Amino acid sequence: MSRPVLALLLLISSILCTLLSCTAPSQGQTLAQVESEHPEIIIAISYFNETLGGQVEALQAAHETLTIFAPENTAIRALPQGALANLERNHTLLQDVLLYHMLHGNYTARDLEERGAFRPKTLFDNNTVLIEANASGVTVNGYEVVTPDVFFDLGVIHIIDGVLIPPEFRSDLLG
Ligand SMILES: *[C@@H]1O[C@H](CO)[C@@H](O)[C@H](O)[C@H]1NC(C)=O
Ligand SMILES: *[C@@H]1O[C@H](CO)[C@@H](O)[C@H](O)[C@H]1NC(C)=O
Ligand SMILES: *[C@@H]1O[C@H](CO)[C@@H](O)[C@H](O)[C@H]1NC(C)=O
Ligand SMILES: *[C@@H]1O[C@H](CO)[C@@H](O)[C@H](O)[C@H]1NC(C)=O
Ligand SMILES: *[C@@H]1O[C@H](CO)[C@@H](O)[C@H](O)[C@H]1NC(C)=O
């Protein structure tokens, strides 16, 4: 893993760690609170927590805003069986996939709608996702945002009905 990627992971780890492990909470709801209000994304949140949260407790939280696209449990369970097994076995892969669900910045559904169609960089290696937004809704790589604007300490979570897979992993994971 390259140093910038590692640094990024550590940064995110520290952020999620702060959110999840209940050191002094800042303003807004924590991911744990989001989880209790949105049990439909409990798997995604536990992935973030399990793979990143506990890792680097010593690091300080960095002040950065994030937009996270969180797949519903049903979308995760609908992945091909081999894909799910791979993700659970290979935490590098899982982290890469999680980073592909995150953008720098705090983009509300309304912000997205104002931009219409665009391709922002994700936190995974600058890979982009395609966002298309209008008054009737928002899609990311063709998946629908089913619940927009779940705010948390660091920004916003949009709940989506599919799992975003970086292009380079698609043939391996999705067959
Ligand atoms: C995060 O993981 C820790 C350790 O496994 C666990 O105690 C905690 O309940 C988890 N929090 C969430 C929000 O899943
Ligand atoms: C784990 O996934 C990464 C991609 O994130 C890949 O480069 C690596 O080869 C995989 N490791 C194993 C043991 O499959
Ligand atoms: C991502 O893009 C930024 C800004 O364009 C650049 O500084 C950085 O090196 C890129 N990171 C990777 C991993 O390509
Ligand atoms: C809104 O965007 C969706 C795809 O994201 C598209 O299917 C739909 O036709 C668009 N609606 C309008 C009114 O442009
Ligand atoms: C994200 O944007 C919303 C809506 O503008 C705002 O209420 C919230 O405080 C912002 N969150 C952060 C962490 O900046």
Q: Is residue 36 part of a domain?
A: yes
pLDDT at 28: 58
Q: Is residue 119 part of a domain?
A: yes
Backbone angles phi, psi at 10, to 5 degrees: -65, -40
- Mean pLDDT calculated for residue range 38-54: 80
Q: Is residue 69 part of a domain?
A: yes
The atom of ligand 5 lying closest to the CA of 106 is: 1
- Ligand 4 neighbourhood includes 134 CB (under 6 angstroms): yes
CA atoms of 32 and 35, how far apart (whole Å) = 5
Out of 27-36, 97-106, 114-123, 155-164, pick the least confident.
27-36
What residues make up the domain containing 65? 25-174
- Ligand 5 neighbourhood includes 33 CB (under 6 angstroms): no
- Ligand 2 neighbourhood includes 85 CB (under 6 angstroms): no
Distance 20 CA to ligand 1 centre (A): 7
- Ligand 2 neighbourhood includes 96 CB (under 6 angstroms): yes
Distance 166 CA to ligand 2 centre (A): 13
Residue 16 near residue 48, CB atoms below 8 Å: yes
Which amino acid is located at 120 in the chain? P
Confidence of residue 170 (pLDDT cuts 50, 70, 90): very high
> What pTM was computed for the model?
0.81
Q: Is residue 19 part of a domain?
A: no
Q: Is residue 5 part of a domain?
A: no
| DSSP bridge pairs for 157 | 68, 150
- Ligand 5 neighbourhood includes 152 CB (under 6 angstroms): no
Q: Which two tokens stand for residue 1?
A: 């893993």
Distance 110 CA to ligand 1 centre (A): 32
Nearest CA to ligand 5 atom 14: 155
Q: Is residue 18 part of a domain?
A: no
Between the alpha carbon of residue 109 and those of residues 10, 47, 100, 102, 146, the distances in Å are 28, 24, 18, 15, 11
pLDDT at 174: 82
CATH number of the domain where residue 71 is located: 2.30.180.10
- Mean pLDDT calculated for residue range 67-88: 94
Our count of domains for the chain comes to: 1
Q: Is residue 14 part of a domain?
A: no
- With 80 as the cut, is the pLDDT of residue 101 above it? yes
Q: Is residue 6 part of a domain?
A: no
Confidence of residue 64 (pLDDT cuts 50, 70, 90): confident
List CB contacts of 157: < 8 A, sequence separation 6 or more.
34, 41, 67, 68, 69, 70, 150, 151
Considering only CA atoms, which of 19, 7, 133 is closest in space to residue 65? 19
- With 80 as the cut, is the pLDDT of residue 107 above it? yes
